[in-house]
Amino acid sequence: MPERIAMGGYTLIEDAPLAARNTLRVTARAALLAEVHDAAALPELFAYPAVRTGDILVLGEGSNVLFTGDYAGTVIAMATRGVEVLDDDGTRALIRVAAGERWDDFVRWSLGRGCAGLENLILIPGTVGAAPLQNIGAYGVEVGEFIDAVEAWDRESQRAVTLDRDACGFTYRDSIFKRAPDRWLITAVVFALPREHALRLDYAGVREELAAMGVTQPAPFHVAEAVLRLRTRKLPDPAVIGNAGSFFKNPVVPLAQTEALKREHPALPIWPGPQGHAKLSAAWLIEACGFKGLREGDAGISNRHALVLVNHGGARGAELWALAQRVQAGVRARFGVELEPEPRIL
């Protein structure tokens, strides 16, 4: 039985099992796990010798990580709770949310109070603190659009800081927090959510789903319901089969390469990207290589969505990563496109 040491504002657990703390359900252990219930206790936690000098991994629900073995450092799990409305002038609400709150719970909370913006991001697993790190996105929306500020503990300066939206450096599935994951520990996020917002409907079947629902004048809660239905049909439930959602990013490639690929593969879905670039469908590329539904032992690619790496029961992290690398190599060989994993590989 792992030893638990209760401290003020946090609990330390030695030789902690992590299988229930990652959605791929990979068996792994951490030398030390710190469950933080009060962000004010972070200075004391980081003064603890093993935490002060060792490697650190901040873990939410573990929906964006693949353990390929045990973790020799300290895993910090933010278990803080709280949602606070800082300001609401009738057109926009500023809402501060503790890092440990579940993301999907907060999205539903915001919709229930008449806020807009996050409806396309419903049913994404993980915690609020993980959302800005990954700049999570789905169905044409990225969370960074609606973040006013991020509160964090800066390990470099050993102090609490607040970074405004521009300082967070949000880009496609990226942020300053992801680029320096060992420096920042996100403690809370402040969202700026409008009461009225232009709905994003032109992505991955949202309009068609709304039509199937009989909705002709959609409100944010209609869009949320459409996205929920789409995600439920397309993506396996981590509670049923271990997975981390979309395992690969949609690749962003130069327009010249895009045009060449489109000539050779007219069915390839392409979306606008940064200047001089376009975004390709990683799922289409993977499926075109014949990987959808592939299974090697207990490691597999979902037969429901080619972007989803799944654990059929007893796959080790190294086996899942080997399969992911095989997919990367296959797409590279056929299309000359490099796929980048979304989860952090440890």
Active site residues: 173, 246, 342
Order of strands across the sheet with 56-59? 4-7, 10-17, 29-36, 71-78, 56-59
Residue 231: name the closest of 286, 308, 284 by CA. Answer: 308
Beta bridge partners of 116: none
CA distance to 23, 121, 199, 229, per residue, from 234 (Å): 17, 15, 22, 9
Residue 219: name the closest of 199, 235, 239, 201 by CA. Answer: 199
DSSP 160-202: EEEEETGGGT-BTTB-HHHHSTTTEEEEEEEEEEESS------
> Two tokens at 172?
């496609």
For 81, the 3-state DSSP assignment is coil
Distance CA 190, CA 301 (A): 36
For 298, the 3-state DSSP assignment is coil
Residue 202 CB neighbour total at 10 angstroms: 10
Q: Which residues of 72-105 are buried (b: 16+ CB within 10 A; e: fewer)?
A: ebbbbbbbbeebeeeeeeeebbbbbbbbbbbbbe
Q: Which amino acid is at 121?
A: L
Distance CA 179, CA 183 (A): 9
Beta bridge partners of 98: 188
Distance CA 321, CA 328 (A): 10
Residue with tokens 């709905």: 199
